[in-house]
């Protein structure tokens, strides 16, 4: 019996994050961060999404494309545990997996028909890099998928952690108004690994084709530089 499954991407998602640094660690952490799902030519069928508009949220099965071809690790060091404590890979959402597949639940904001890409899905609360391949889409069904009594392990201990975000003079005005809420949410989530705590270090992240520079002192994150023009 052949137990190997060959799969191919059905779509790609495009977001404001070309790089991993600054990307939300989980879906829904930056609820205003948008993504556009563009189906590949073979799967651009309106019939395939019939009824999807009746669901408010969807599951996305995607590939950790930056880790294709890399070895998996039986244990990993989650950044939220300071980067020193190891846990089993199957007790984490690390991309260093036997099969580099991710799973995210996002909100379905809109379904649009375009001249160039056919039907596209607009989703929010994303945690994927721009250009990430998508292998499947399924509807989120609350009565089956939601378990409010579930234990969250080590992740639950850090679920409410947020930084206070402020902007140096003249920096906020450089960020387009429609991009600002999602940026603040991503920064509140603290992009740094937990073991980095240098208040004088300037961190940089790419967001919406802009370079965002910031420092963190205690629980205060200050945006110090904004370079480039957002799209």
Q: Are 22 and 150 in contact (CB under 8 A)?
A: no
Q: pTM (2 decimals)?
A: 0.91
154-227: CATH architecture: 2-Layer Sandwich (3.30)
The reported pLDDT for the residue numbered 110 is: 98
The reported pLDDT for the residue numbered 153 is: 80
The reported pLDDT for the residue numbered 231 is: 63
Closest by CA position to 38, among listed 110, 111, 119, 113: 119
Question: What is the β-pairing status of strands 220-227 and 164-167?
Answer: parallel
Ranges for all domains in the chain classified under CATH 3.30.2310.20: 154-227
The reported pLDDT for the residue numbered 157 is: 67
The reported pLDDT for the residue numbered 82 is: 63
> Exposure of 50 by Cβ count < 10 A (0-12 exposed, 13-18 middle, 19+ buried)?
exposed
The tens-digit pLDDT sequence of the chain (231 residues) is 677 888 999 999 999 999 999 999 899 999 999 999 999 999 999 999 999 999 999 999 999 988 777 888 899 887 766 667 888 999 888 888 899 999 999 999 999 999 999 999 999 999 999 999 999 999 999 999 999 898 888 777 666 789 999 999 999 999 999 999 999 999 999 998 777 788 999 999 999 999 999 999 999 999 999 998 766
Ranges for all domains in the chain classified under CATH 2.40.30.70: 11-64+100-143
The reported pLDDT for the residue numbered 1 is: 60
Query: CATH fold of 11-64+100-143, please?
Result: Elongation Factor Tu (Ef-tu); domain 3 (2.40.30)
């Amino acid at each position: 019996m052949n137990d190997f499954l060959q799969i191919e991407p059905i779509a790609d998602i495009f977001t404001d994050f070309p790089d991993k640094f600054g990307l939300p660690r989980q879906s829904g952490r930056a609820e205003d961060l948008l993504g556009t799902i563009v189906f590949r030519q073979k799967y651009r069928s309106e019939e395939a999404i019939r009824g999807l508009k009746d669901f408010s949220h969807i599951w996305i099965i995607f590939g950790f494309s930056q880790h294709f071809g890399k070895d998996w690790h039986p244990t990993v060091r989650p950044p939220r545990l300071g980067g020193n404590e190891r846990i089993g890979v199957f007790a984490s959402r690390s991309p260093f997996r036997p099969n580099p597949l991710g799973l995210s639940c996002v909100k379905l904001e809109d379904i649009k028909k375009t001249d160039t890409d056919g039907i596209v899905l607009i989703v929010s609360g994303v945690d994927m890099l721009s250009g990430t391949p998508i292998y499947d889409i399924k509807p989120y069904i609350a009565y089956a998928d939601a378990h409010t009594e579930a234990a969250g392990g080590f992740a639950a201990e850090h679920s409410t952690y947020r930084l206070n975000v402020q902007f140096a003079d003249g920096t906020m005005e450089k960020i387009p108004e429609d991009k600002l809420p999602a940026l603040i949410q991503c920064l509140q989530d603290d992009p740094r690994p937990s073991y980095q705590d240098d208040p004088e270090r300037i961190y940089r992240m790419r967001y919406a084709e802009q370079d965002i520079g910031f420092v963190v002192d205690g629980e205060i994150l200050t945006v110090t530089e904004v370079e480039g023009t957002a799209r």
